[in-house]
Chain A
């Protein structure tokens, strides 16, 4: 069956521009997570969605970052006024419910020039 998909796979943008990253979770998975991995670092939690509950935004690094998810479907991560330190691979993961093993997408590599 289809896994988690993300688009675009690569995004190069200029400092100050806004970017939008998309995640399609596995069908039926109620939990969706966004992580990022900066060069030489581990994966860093950003935000978590569980069904229609209020998202856990505790990992978002600044108010330039936001994310939305409609029900149990697609999620978009938006970064406004991008900075060079935002350059990273942004990974989306989904699981059937919180605490279950998370299935990751291939990631979006964001480069901010």
Chain B
């Protein structure tokens, strides 16, 4: 039973427009959320995170929004660039509950940004 769900396996966006990647979770104990980006044949690289005490975190072109009541988070990339084309993984952790920090990942969304 998946605790972290990324329901869109792929997304295609025009360069310069906004990319919105969505993620839903079922475990209300999750208190720390991360987005990772993965290029082919490479390991995932950390992009941005958000703690459950916040509802927004921004870093340059990347903003993550968290809606705890809906158990939903989203990653906004604006403006999108062709180099953003990659697979994006949403991940969650239950740190306050004593988890060891191991992350529960979604299946990923493949973003293609077209020039």
Least Cβ distance of B54 to chain A in Å? 15
Q: Interface size for chain A: under 10, 10 to 19, 20 to 34, or 35 or more residues?
A: 20 to 34
Least Cβ distance of A101 to chain B in Å? 4
In the complex the two chains form, is A59's CB within 8 Å of B34's CB? no
- The complex places the Cα of A65 from the Cα of B34 at a distance, in Å, of 27
CB of A4 closer than 8 Å to a CB of B: yes
CB of B102 closer than 8 Å to a CB of A: yes
Least Cβ distance of B32 to chain A in Å? 7
Instruction: Name which of B41-49, B60-68, B78-86 contacts chain A.
Output: B41-49
Least Cβ distance of A84 to chain B in Å? 21
Question: Which residues of B90-105 have CB atoms within 8 Å of chain A's CB atoms?
Answer: 91, 93, 95, 100-105
Q: A40-B107, A50-B100, A59-B102 are in contact. List 4 more A-B contacts (CB 8 A).
A: A43-B91, A45-B104, A105-B43, A106-B43
